[in-house]
Structure 1
Amino acid sequence: MLDTDNPGRDILAQKRLSDYPDWGYLLREIYETYRHLSSGGSDKIRAHQRAVREAISRVKKSNAEVRFDAPAHKPVTAHLRRALDEGKQERTVPLIRSVESVQEHLIWQYGYEKVPRGLDRTYAYAEICGPNGPVLTTEIILGLVLFAPGCTYPAHAHSGISESYICLSGAVSENHQGVYAPGSMIFNPPEHTHRITVSKTEPALLAYAWIGPQDRLANQKMVFSRKRG
């Protein structure tokens, strides 16, 4: 049986989330992490956590399509095994183990047309769920970001997107305002400019979630803020 809107595409060959239990478990662990993490008394953070959980629930209930492209690596993924091993010593271990189970399918990329010098060796991200898959949805974007030791991720902001990072291993600082260790969450409301620095001794692995209007999620452009003269 063929899809007449997409000639040559076999409908029966389409795979769903229920066909890949490891991806379903990964989404469940992310959901549970957002359920159990403290909001620190912040109404805005609590609302964001709830929005992430509700979006994940919709993705799972819809039994979203799963589409795999060829896995891709970047120089920084040489640090991935260390980051995963370190994460097993932390309370984030259930999520770390779920990441391990799908790591061979991850597509690590930069997301920027022009990557600052040196960042091409110290940073990459991989989407888990979103308009580009592997779990296809317009409800939310979930993914992982990996930093090498000593990485500085330049200042940037997201238009119309609420973003959170969950530190899975290593330690990072945002805008030099506190240190985030495994099990902690960073929340960035829309338009909030943020810059990330990483410990010089260990890589850092973070999970992230983007929540916003569907058109914003589908067309978000990743651009670093220019330094003012």
Structure 2
Amino acid sequence: MRLSNVPSWQYLLRDVHELYQMGSAGGSAKIRTHMADVRRALGRVFEDDPEIEYGPAKQLPVCEHLDRALSSATGLRTAKVARSLEAVRSLLNWRYGYERVPRGLTRKYGFCEFLGPNGPVVSDRIIIGCVLFAPKTTYPAHSHKGITESYVCIAGNTSENDAGVYAPGSLIFNPPGQMHRITTADREPCLLVYAWTGSSDALTTQKMTFSKK
């Protein structure tokens, strides 16, 4: 089965494309370039019409907060993405991505990939997925070698490196190798869509590790 035959995945990826088309780069040339890279890669994915490969759907404890996160996006400009996520939520494979998950994080964090080497929409051009954090979460400092990363906040509020507060619709940008630590608000979960761009080798071999500092 290919992407062109599954409207639910098409809608989700098009809604993510719209986030990177309609969102602001805030005057930053680097962020503007990254947003264009994301749009270009997504456009090529639609041209490729890749296979859909479903693995086993899996939930993690943090998914108990997903209903709240999706419903809180109602009325926001991120609502379309939330609705598209709702349509495929039963197919999502939530993961930790680390061999060793820090104590206390197992119930507060999880991510799932929509588009990338691990599917369900299989491609080595770009990785698109989402991350869900429970309230009052500290996600330890980490970085990504050879990967340019951005998050778009869909619901809730978050801070990165204590450098400001990001509300729904905000974009957080991390160039390759930049250490970043994420915290979330005390009373509400936070849902982020992420995009990773880089070489196909970097995308397929990336290993997630936290800083030892």
Equivalent residue runs for 1:177-188 within 5 Å: 177-188=163-174
Q: Which digits, 9 at most, give the CA deviation of each residue in 1:67-102, with x for residues without a partner?
A: 101110000000000000001132211111111111
SS at match of 1:225: coil
CA distance in 2, matches of 1:131, 1:179: 32
For 2:16, the equivalent position in structure 1 comes to 30
CA distance in 1, matches of 2:77, 2:13: 17
Give yes or no for the alignment of 1:54 onto 2:40: yes
For 2:137, the equivalent position in structure 1 comes to 151
Instruction: Give the C-alpha shift of residue 201 in structure 1.
Output: 0.5
For 2:147, the equivalent position in structure 1 comes to 161
CA distance in 1, matches of 2:39, 2:180: 24
2:106 to 110, 120, 126: 120
For 1:225, the equivalent position in structure 2 comes to 211
CA distance in 2, matches of 1:90, 1:203: 16
Aligned letter for 1:220?
Answer: Q
Instruction: Give the C-alpha shift of residue 219 in structure 1.
Output: 0.3
For 1:17, the equivalent position in structure 2 comes to 3
1:214 to 188, 192, 200: 200
Aligned letter for 2:64?
Answer: A
Give yes or no for the alignment of 1:189 onto 2:191: no
Q: Which has the larger radius of gyration?
A: 1
For 2:80, the equivalent position in structure 1 comes to 94
CA distance in 2, matches of 1:121, 1:90: 27
SS at match of 1:191: coil
SS at match of 2:163: coil
TM-score (norm 1): 0.92
- Which stretches in structure 2 are left out of the alignment for 5+ residues? none
SS at match of 2:106: helix
Aligned letter for 2:56?
Answer: A
Aligned letter for 1:161?
Answer: I
For 2:29, the equivalent position in structure 1 comes to 43
Q: Which digits, 9 at most, give the CA deviation of each residue in 1:12-50, with x for residues without a partner?
A: xxx100111010011110101100100000000000000
- Which stretches in structure 1 are left out of the alignment for 5+ residues? 1-14
CA distance in 2, matches of 1:23, 1:79: 22
Paired residues, what number? 213
Aligned letter for 1:102?
Answer: V
For 1:142, the equivalent position in structure 2 comes to 128
CA distance in 1, matches of 2:183, 2:139: 6
Runs of 4+ in structure 1 deviating by more than 2 angstroms, as ranges, are none
Equivalent residue runs for 1:60-79 within 5 Å: 60-79=46-65
SS at match of 1:209: strand
CA distance in 1, matches of 2:107, 2:80: 28
CA distance in 2, matches of 1:214, 1:18: 23
CA distance in 1, matches of 2:159, 2:75: 20
Q: Report the RMSD for the aligned CA atoms in angstroms.
A: 0.5
